[in-house]
């Protein structure tokens, strides 16, 4: 499996993401820049976290309109796996590749802490390394992770198994509706999530609950 990481000015968890992909797959992923209009032939495209363009407007709003995102959308249509983490999730939502919106945290404050996630759908390309219903640890670090969707969209997401990760055991850090932490698109090949699995992949991180996600998506045996 080949992977590419989208780089945009202001993203800052790109190095964490590249390190995780490299450590788990043994290969350094390719990178693409904001102005690139084509993406090399890869099986996985990752949009990492950060504050693209400062996020002084709605988070991800400027990034979603950069040329590289059109190329990402085209690939997604062809079934290429796309993973957006944190700002990456916000960008995918702003780009219309995932439904709903990510609002300011209910606390109105940035929050960095470990939460619990339950794996709601273990039957995606991203989650088959987990057991259905498995509760994992995962850190969050964001200011705007409060997921919202209208009732109709929400019903569809819930009904179609598109809610992949849910904050568990009362650890919802941001007020997300239905405790939603991560969703896939209707095709199942685009995942957006607020938590940072890339920061929990090795003993130095205090655990490796994030690792199976990358192993699944990279086709690496655990």
Partner 1 sequence: MTLRNDIPITPELVAAHGLKPDEYQRILDLIGREPSFTELGIFSAMWNEHCSYKSSKKWLRTLPTEGPRVIQGPGENAGVVDIGDGDCVVFKMESHNHPSYIEPYQGAATGVGGILRDVFTMGARPIAAMNALRFGEPDHPKTKHLVSGVVAGIGGYGNSFGVPTVGGEVNFDARYNGNCLVNAFAAGLARTDAIFYSKASGVGLPVVYLGAKTGRDGVGGATMASAEFDDRIEEKRPTVQVGDPFTEKCLLEACLELMASGAVIAIQDMGAAGLTCSAVEMGAKGDLGILLDLDKVPVREERMTAYEMMLSESQERMLMVLRPEKEEEAEAIFRKWGLDFAIVGHTTDDLRFRVVHQGDEVANLPIKDLGDQAPEYDRPWIEPKTPAPLAAGDVPRADVAEALLKLVGSPDLCSRRWVWEQYDTLIQGNSLQLPGGDAGVVRVDGHPTKALAFSSDVTPRYCETDPYEGGKQAVAECWRNLTAVGAEPLAATDNLNFGNPERPEIMGQFARAVTGIGDACRALGFPIVSGNVSLYNETNGRGILPTPTIAGVGLIDDWTKTVRIAFAAAGQAILHVGARRDFGGHLGQSLYLREIHGRRDGPPPPVDLVHEKRVGDFVRSLIRSGVATACHDISDGGLAVAVAEMAMASDIGATIPGPAEGDPIPFLFGEDQGRYLVTVGLDPQGEEIAELWRRAEEAGIFAPWIGTTGGDALRFGDDWTIPVSHLKVAHESWFPAYMNS
∠ CA 165-169-174, nearest 5°, is 65
Catalytic residue among 34, 94, 120, 198: 198
3-state secondary structure of 220: coil
Could you list the residues that contact partner 1 (CB under 8 A)?
9-10, 12-13, 15-16, 19-20, 50-51, 53-56, 109-113, 139, 141, 143, 196, 198-199, 204-205
How far apart are CB 101 and partner 1 at their closest, in Å? Answer: 21
Of 204 and 221, nearer to partner 1 (C-beta) is: 204
Which stretches does DSSP call E strand in the chain?
A: 3-7, 30-33, 44-47, 81-85, 101-103, 111-119, 135-142, 146-148, 163-168, 180-184, 190-193
**Is 27 in the active site?**
no
* Residue among 59, 86, 120, 215 flagged as catalytic: 86
Question: What is the smallest separation between the CB atom of 16 and partner 1, expressed in angstroms?
Answer: 4
- In the DSSP assignment, the letter for residue 103 is E
Active site residue 196: yes
**Distance in Å, CB of 187 to partner 1, minimum:** 30
28: Cβ contacts below 8 Å, ≥ 6 apart: 18, 21, 22
Contact by Cβ (8 Å): 89, 128: no
Which one of the listed residues 59, 142, 143, 196 is annotated catalytic? 196
Q: How far is the CB of 93 from partner 1 (least distance, A)?
A: 19
Active site residue 198: yes
Return the number of the residue (40 or 110) whose C-beta is nearest partner 1.
110
Buried b (16+ CB within 10 A) or exposed e, 80-114: bbbbbbbbbbbbbbbbebbbbbbbbbeeeeeeeeb
C-beta of 24 vs 190, nearer to partner 1? 24
Question: What φ, ψ does residue 60 adopt, rounded to 5°?
Answer: 85, -5
Q: Which is nearer to partner 1, 59 or 80 (CB)?
A: 59
Residues belonging to the active site: 86, 196, 198
């Amino acid at each position: 499996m080949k992977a590419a990481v989208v780089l945009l000015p202001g993203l800052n968890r790109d190095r964490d993401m590249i390190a995780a992909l490299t450590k788990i797959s043994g290969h350094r992923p390719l990178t693409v820049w904001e102005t690139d209009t084509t993406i090399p032939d890869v099986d996985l495209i990752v949009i990492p976290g950060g504050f693209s363009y400062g996020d002084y407007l709605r988070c991800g709003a400027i990034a979603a309109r950069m040329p590289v995102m059109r190329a990402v959308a085209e690939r997604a249509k062809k079934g290429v796996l796309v993973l957006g983490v944190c700002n990456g999730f916000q960008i995918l939502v702003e780009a219309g590749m995932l439904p709903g919106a990510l609002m300011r945290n209910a606390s109105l404050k940035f929050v960095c802490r470990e939460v619990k996630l339950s794996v709601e759908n273990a039957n995606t390309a991203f989650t088959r390394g987990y057991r259905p219903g498995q509760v994992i640890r995962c850190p969050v670090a964001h200011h705007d992770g409060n997921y919202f969707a209208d009732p109709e969209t929400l019903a569809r997401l819930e009904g179609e198994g598109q809610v992949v990760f849910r904050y568990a055991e009362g650890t919802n850090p941001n007020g997300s509706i239905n405790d939603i932490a991560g969703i896939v698109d209707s095709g199942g090949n685009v995942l957006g999530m607020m938590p940072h699995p890339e920061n929990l992949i090795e003993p130095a991180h205090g655990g490796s609950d994030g690792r199976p996600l990358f192993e699944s998506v990279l086709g690496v045996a655990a």
